[in-house]
Structure 1
Amino acid sequence: MNVNFAERAHNHNWKLDPIVRSLLDTDFYKLLMLQFIWKNYPETPVTSEVHNRTVKVRLAERVGAAPLVEQLEHVRGLRFRRSELVWLAGNTFYGTRSIFQPAFLEWLEHDFRLSDYTVSEEDGQLVLRFSGLWTEVTMWEVYALAIVSELKTRAALAELSELELDVLYARAKTRLWDKIELLRTCGVQLSISDFGTRRRHSFLWQEYCVQAMRLSLNRGSGPDRFAGTSNTALAYKHDLEAIGTNAHELPMALAALASAGSDDELRASQYRVLELWGQSYGGALLIMLPDTFGSTQFLNGAPEWTADWTGQRMDSKDPHLAGDEYIAWLESRGRDPRQKRLIASDGLDVEDIIELHRYFEGRIRFSAGWGTLLTNDFRGCHPRGEDTLEPLSLVCKLTSAGGRPAVKLSDNLHKATGPAEEIARYRRVFGSAATEGAEVVV
């Protein structure tokens, strides 16, 4: 863990210092989703787009198109290594060995490719779009977000002297340690994972944070409080649990494909995703993500068998309200919430994690996915007092599937995406009101 961040940052002067060095440097859920897409929708065309919700930061000026293209082209030239595929084939994930089918791994080795893309500039922002088969587009999400985020980091670091860089990282390490010390005050039932790949400060800093969490929280007897990391490359390298299930991309795509049909077909698409997912995965991977088109309507209309799933991840709703709603729903279906998993992951910081852990303790098996504010919290650390290292709210969302617009309503009005007329139709079909949620920070 003895990494000289200041020296490494100061010496970014070779022709290309790749940000993504392995195709495993992605969130684990992307590989699970890729296998799902490969199995069920191998010929479906889609488009997706990177969007910077922190509009005050003009990325075209901070980062520039040329360095971005250089990094993207490097990723397009990567291939899964044989040792990585052997690990995917033989490792146990979520208590299940051989979760990835041999035919899928063979396809990864010989036929997997990333789609074409376009990079342009508009109103000071970079416009990055991906188009192609869904199997070619889906993996771009995490690679692209991590690249844009770290390019912004490198641009800010390039303005600092080696001494200033040393001060910066000393402050960031102190901040990280203070957060970990707070987590250590929680009981042994705390369960927390790293979800910070997409908007990280850098790969090296994410690796440092993951190692610090494991060394500090998993000491002594009892269960590990640091459960693992969503970053598959770090799980592979450091023998950690790879954490992740699925994301909004799946119900958005299936709804878009169903949107040409009746309103009933569109409404039913959110449960069709779960049916297909359950045919591929089971056990701890049966985690619902109900907020794509509104959590309340999802639970109200959910088939009885969904109550037998392992748990739910909350994303865009106040986690206290979302958790209470899920617990009440389980009880109404005759299920014991204490046997279920509840995952929070939206913009959490250490105080939120501790408070939510105590709020749900004894009521449901709560766990936290700690993202941007674990792996990219340099607020107040800049030696000149500038804000150039503060994290961005970067997202990469599906914009179409099968030639139809893709829509996300969310429980938070600020997170809705898609054409206005399609959003209006979806709100009518799903019965989801536009709720003014919290401002999106990360």
Structure 2
Amino acid sequence: MIVNFARRAHNHNWELDPVTRSLLDTDFYKILMLQFIWKHYPKTRVTFSMSNRSSSVRLAGMFPIEELTAQMEHARRLRFRRSELVWLAGNTFYGRRGIFEPDFLTWLERDFRLSDYEVSVKDGQFQMTFSGNWTETTMWELYSLSIVNELKTRAALKRLSEFGLDILYARAKTKLWNKIEKLQNVPGLRLGDFGTRRRHSFLWQEYVVEAMADNLGGNFIGTSNAFLAHKHDLEAIGTNAHEIPMVLAALAPDDAARKAAQYRVLELWQGTYDGALLIMLPDTYGTTQFLANAPDWCADWTGQRVDSKDPFVAGDEYISWLESRGRDPKDKLLIASDALDVDKILGLHAYFGGTLLHGARPEDFQSAADFLNPRKWLPGRRIRFSAGWGTLLTNDFRGCDPEGGGAFDPLSLICKVADADGRPAVKLSDNYAKALGTDAEVERYRKIFGTAGVANVPVLV
């Protein structure tokens, strides 16, 4: 699908152009987690809140609150379509059919609703909260983020002429193609689209996904966006996120149970799913402490996703841990997903997918030619590596604005669990700058979990 982005943006004058076109327009792992929540915690009350870590960008000054609420109300009225439920019921995901239970799909069709929400403005920022049963609030995360991001994009587009819009998208397409060219024909490379939550727009994400699928062949393994996977017959990819351990830790009656909650999540998850869906996300309260205290059966899981630690460091740590538990790392999967761009993806693939020779460094790998040079690289994986490419795939308009400035630069916008059954929720992560929760609660959790392996790194996206 080739869209004339400039003409469409220039002629954009209809009353409501929905950002969220379907309830499937979300990360696939949100649907997996929704079934998990429906099955195990249907009556738990959870509040999500949205915040802008790029605080210098005053979102409430870019578009009116009425425009935001119109989009939110449209999303809240959506229901799963019969064709979408048939796809969830009958499609093969990760090589398995029937991962969604019939009773869950019936519930989606008859009873699923998004919760109410509250929105206000404070210090130039939109304040949004979503409170209700966990099953009613969890899906708001992706819808709210994609709505706010696209409304920011539309506000910035309005100030450009049709000629300026043409320049903007010509530059963005050139930037995208330069990245794709670097990735073409790289032996053994595996990467997918993880860019829904902070995308430039729905149509741009669709364009990017189609460009990747058409030009990267088997190296492109799919998209986390369930709607695009359904529409374009692509693999829907994704497993789980931080919200489940955050909620279970908040619900824990004491500190010992709180520390054990990160493993209780895995126990319940492996009772719901299996195979390629058994991917650990160990950094909610710090990867180093997680691995040090993990039950031995955790080493039997398929792999690990790295989200907030330097992926080179985290991958080496995971490999060493697997070896200490008597498992062969070559059989496991390492997924990197934090602030990736093309050069880091190639460097990580070189580092974990083979042996660097004659002083070659990860940053020296810029195209397939470098991987085919026998003096630089010897194929033979240390661990299976895959990249989940997010914001800098679907929203890299840095330097594309013909008028200069950063109006189209991506934001670090998040929507996370604030409390569960009235108890405050916390995320520590492997980066001090990414901790979430009140100062007092964050400090209390750090006393429980420690800070081993935690770094202080600027948050980019």
TM-score range, shorter chain: over 0.9
CA distances 1:369-408 after superposition (whole Å, capped 9, x unpaired): 0000000000111111121000001110100011100000
TM-score, normalising length: structure 1: 0.97
Secondary structure of 2:136 counterpart: helix
**Separation in 2 of the partners of 1:142 and 1:352?**
25
User: 413, 423, 427: which is aligned to 2:442?
Assistant: 423
- Correspondence for 2:393: 374
- Correspondence for 1:312: 304
**Separation in 2 of the partners of 1:206 and 1:115?**
27
**Separation in 2 of the partners of 1:185 and 1:90?**
33
Structure 2 segments unaligned to the other structure (5+ residues): 354-380
Q: Is the aligned partner of 1:72 residue 2:37?
A: no
Say whether the 8 Å CA contact 1:20–1:75 is kept in structure 2: yes
**Cα offset for 1:262?**
2.2
1:46-195 paired onto structure 2 within 5 Å: 46-184=46-184, 186-187=186-187, 189-195=188-194
**Separation in 1 of the partners of 2:86 and 2:27?**
18
1:406 alignment partner AA? A
User: 226, 232, 240: which is aligned to 1:232?
Assistant: 226
Secondary structure of 2:114 counterpart: coil
2:276 alignment partner AA? A
**Separation in 1 of the partners of 2:242 and 2:205?**
24
- Correspondence for 1:215: 214
- Correspondence for 1:247: 241
- Sequence identity percentage: 68
**Separation in 1 of the partners of 2:185 and 2:402?**
30
**Cα offset for 1:433?**
4.8
- Correspondence for 1:221: none
- Correspondence for 2:40: 40
- Correspondence for 2:357: none
1:284 alignment partner AA? A
Say whether the 8 Å CA contact 1:413–1:437 is kept in structure 2: yes
- Correspondence for 2:196: 197
1:15-30 paired onto structure 2 within 5 Å: 15-30=15-30
- Correspondence for 1:284: 276
Secondary structure of 1:227 counterpart: strand
Secondary structure of 1:292 counterpart: coil
Say whether the 8 Å CA contact 1:317–1:437 is kept in structure 2: no
**Separation in 2 of the partners of 1:433 and 1:308?**
24
CA distances 1:65-119 after superposition (whole Å, capped 9, x unpaired): 1111000000011110000000000000011101100000000000000011111
RMSD, aligned α-carbons: 0.9
**Cα offset for 1:269?**
0.5
Q: Is the aligned partner of 1:349 residue 2:348?
A: no
Say whether the 8 Å CA contact 2:333–2:384 is kept in structure 1: yes
- Correspondence for 1:325: 317
Secondary structure of 1:228 counterpart: strand
**Cα offset for 1:185?**
5.3
2:137 alignment partner AA? V
**Separation in 2 of the partners of 1:393 and 1:40?**
31
Secondary structure of 2:9 counterpart: helix
**Cα offset for 1:63?**
2.5
Say whether the 8 Å CA contact 1:427–1:433 is kept in structure 2: no
CA distances 1:121-144 after superposition (whole Å, capped 9, x unpaired): 111111011100000000000000
TM-score, normalising length: structure 2: 0.93
Taking a change above 3 Å as real, the CA distance of residues 319 and 434 of structure 1, as seen in their structure-2 partners, is: closer
1:172 alignment partner AA? A
1:204 alignment partner AA? L
1:297 alignment partner AA? Q
Taking a change above 3 Å as real, the CA distance of residues 329 and 436 of structure 1, as seen in their structure-2 partners, is: closer
**Cα offset for 1:423?**
1.2
Structure 1 segments unaligned to the other structure (5+ residues): 219-223
CA distances 1:397-440 after superposition (whole Å, capped 9, x unpaired): 10001110000011000100111221112111112258343211
- Correspondence for 2:460: 441
User: Any runs of at least 4 consecutive aligned residues in structure 1 with deviations exceeding 3 A, and if so which?
Assistant: 433-436
- Correspondence for 2:363: none
1:203 alignment partner AA? F
**Separation in 1 of the partners of 2:25 and 2:82?**
15
- Correspondence for 1:365: 384
**Cα offset for 1:287?**
0.2
Say whether the 8 Å CA contact 1:413–1:434 is kept in structure 2: no
Secondary structure of 1:290 counterpart: coil
**Separation in 2 of the partners of 1:71 and 1:286?**
35
